[in-house]
Amino acid sequence: MSFASLLRSPLAACLAVAVTMGMTTLPAAAQVAREAQVPAPQDAPYPGTITLRVDAGDTRQGIFRVHETIPVKPGKLTLLYPQWIPGNHSPSGPIAMLAGLKLSANGKPVAWMRDKYDVYAFHLDVPAGVSSLDATFEYLSPRRGGFEMTDRMLMLEWDKVSLYPAGYYSRDIKVAPSVTLPAGWQFGSALETATHTGGTTTFKPVSYNNLVDSPIYAGRYFKRVNLTPPDGAPVHLDVVADAPKYLAITPEQLKAHQALAMQAVQLFGSHHYDHYDFLFSLSDVLAGNGLEHHQSSEDGMGADYFTAWADNAPNRDLLAHEYVHSWNGKFRRPADLATPNFNVPMGDSLLWVYEGQTQYWGFVLTARSGLWTPEQFRDALAMVAANYDVNRPGFQWRTLEDTTNDATAAHRQSLPYRSWQMSEDYYSGGQMMWLAVDAKLRALTHDQRSLDDFARAFFGVDNGSYVTRTYTFDDVVAALNAVAPFDWAGFLKARVDALDPPLTEGLAAAGWKLVYTDTPSAYEKQYDARRESPRHLFNFAWSIGLTLDKHGEINDVRWNGPAFKAGISTGAKLVAVNGQAYSRDALKEAIAAAKGNQAPIALLLKYQDQLQTVSIDYHDGLRYPHLERIAGTADYLGQIIAARH
């Protein structure tokens, strides 16, 4: 995924060789730039309508077959494969999965050449007398995990299965899409159907922006559930599942999901969609996605989301999070993220609003709707808070705002020392900050106003519109000042733009404190047990400072924590604990036995074929986070998660 860095490094290497050899023929930067041939986007209508046909019938081999017909005029043309995908916040377009590209006009082949410096750009000359260009190619979806197609369901993201002409704003390009699905499958999408013949559905033409923003989830086992709030625009849950039994929804579950739609509309006082569709995959095979769109979202959970409800509290904030993005992220968007097309780099610096406040409302709306109990909300928040209490030493060298670069810099690869490197902390660090803002607004206004008022004023304008409205840091500050005058610029900068930001202080301001006990919360126990929890990780981050899986493989070692100081590396395998073969319980018992005394925690590790014995000098026992009321203070947290009527 690091195409940008891969592209740059060979050039850098060549320049370095030339310099050391004393050569004087280095290309000037301007000369290099002149050779780049991708036309800059202009805000002018692209003439004609592109026809895009996608055959998604080959689910067994994971192949999407694409036939695109593009109105053209003779001369130079550049076709682009989308690179900067909204919501990914990074140049993540899977260009390597495009194969078999063939261009033709009037039945004759047309040659293409990829740009020298931009692997997402294909140049060609449209011959004289040609007004229509045919492009065919395949998009080869991942075949070893990360599945986008199974024999029971698929996700179709249009940016992966289309090329578009360079030189235009993508909102100025019109596309008439169609899809062919396996026989008998049903689908959900924000797109409007025009015609349906055989297995092929043709949609009403939309702008290329709207197309990329309107994926399709389809499946053999499908159910459409109505969540529309009273007097509201239509909201539906379009569920595809691994088997029919996973589609069963109890009346209580239905009520909570309907409450989610109602509570969100209550919060924002508006909607920014004609109709909204949660494209919801319940699968243990399909990739578990979470991607926001204006009028829909892609949401993936385990197959037993409904059927094992009592054990499934972790990550149940997903639907709320992605739904909030319709207001925060899609409708209101940081100015540097609102780019003219999908191949202009995005600026991620305000993601602590876009993602951070969405993370905040995602938790809050999950509780307000009853998808979480107040206790589950607090236990989930305690785990977030504990990370910012002890598990982010990286704030000694980088700021919360600097982590907005991680989507591009680290593109979610596994990191050896995550607590020190950090990763996309603008989500949860931002969430902790917005809790502090909410509590501050309540204190400043003697409980008269809150972050609800900010949300309604900032995201709730232009009811019914889904034309993106951009904002800057100053706009955020002005909107907060309109709710309650204060030095908001200083308050925000002290948290997003400073080292060692006070990100956990919002808890106390909301009437609660973070405590640790030797017993995990019911929520954390579920978190450890979940199939989709990352690699079944057992969390000892808050005690000896590591996480590991059931096989003993160490996933992360907290920088400068007790395990780190003992010399343990991420990636090592824990073989034995105090002479006992490793198990989670054996490690727990050893940590508990060393509490308050000098007893060592002796670990036998295997790493790179070497065995090593280390002793961890740690005597504070097992530590799991919980929230506890601060007596005599206002319970803002309780007020924040109370359902609105």
Angle of helix 451-459 relative to helix 473-483, nearest 10 degrees, comes to 130
User: Least distance (Å) from Zn ion to the CB of residue 324?
Assistant: 8
Cβ atoms of residues 330 and 297 within 8 Å: no
Q: Which is nearer to Zn ion, 355 or 401 (CB)?
A: 355
**What is the sign, positive or negative, of the torsion defined by CA atoms of 133, 217, 366, 509?**
negative
Q: Which is nearer to Zn ion, 157 or 242 (CB)?
A: 157
Q: Which is nearer to Zn ion, 88 or 578 (CB)?
A: 88
User: Least distance (Å) from Zn ion to the CB of residue 182?
Assistant: 31
Q: Which is nearer to Zn ion, 163 or 476 (CB)?
A: 476
User: C-alpha angle 215/218/219, rounded to 5°?
Assistant: 160
Closest-CA residue to 268 (of 186, 364, 336): 364
Q: What x-and-dash track marks residues 299-338 binding Zn ion by CB under 5 A?
A: ----------------------------------------
Query: Helix (H, G, I), strand (E, B), or coil: what is residue 333?
Result: strand
The separation between CA 80 and the C-alpha centre of its own chain, rounded to angstroms, equals 24
**Which residue minimizes CB distance to Zn ion?**
355
Rounded Cα distance between 263 and 643, Å, is 7
Q: What x-and-dash track marks residues 26-65 binding Zn ion by CB under 5 A?
A: ----------------------------------------
Return the beta strands (E) in 148-221 as ranges. Answer: 153-156, 164-165, 174-180, 186-189, 193-197, 200-203, 206-207, 216-219
**Residue with tokens 């990360």, as numbered in its chain:** 146
User: Least distance (Å) from Zn ion to the CB of residue 556?
Assistant: 22
Give CA separation, 90 vs 1, 94, 406, in Å.
9, 11, 9
Q: Which is nearer to Zn ion, 91 or 329 (CB)?
A: 329
Residue 74 tokens, joined = 């003779």
User: Least distance (Å) from Zn ion to the CB of residue 410?
Assistant: 16
Q: Which is nearer to Zn ion, 149 or 380 (CB)?
A: 380
What DSSP state is assigned to residue 84? S
User: Least distance (Å) from Zn ion to the CB of residue 465?
Assistant: 21
Instruction: Name residues contacting Zn ion, limited to 331-370 (CB under 5 A).
Output: 355
Residue 61 CB: number of other CB atoms within 10 A?
A: 10
Cβ atoms of residues 407 and 345 within 8 Å: no
Q: Which is nearer to Zn ion, 50 or 279 (CB)?
A: 279
Return the beta strands (E) in 276-379 as ranges. Answer: 276-282, 290-292, 296-301, 332-334
User: Least distance (Å) from Zn ion to the CB of residue 500?
Assistant: 26
Q: Which is nearer to Zn ion, 348 or 355 (CB)?
A: 355
Q: Which is nearer to Zn ion, 68 or 298 (CB)?
A: 298
**Number of shown-chain residues binding Zn ion (CB under 5 A):** 1
Cβ atoms of residues 406 and 378 within 8 Å: no
HSE-up of residue 6 (Cα within 13 Å, Cβ side): 7
User: Least distance (Å) from Zn ion to the CB of residue 199?
Assistant: 33
User: Least distance (Å) from Zn ion to the CB of residue 328?
Assistant: 9
User: Least distance (Å) from Zn ion to the CB of residue 477?
Assistant: 22
Site residues (vs Zn ion, CB under 5 A): 355
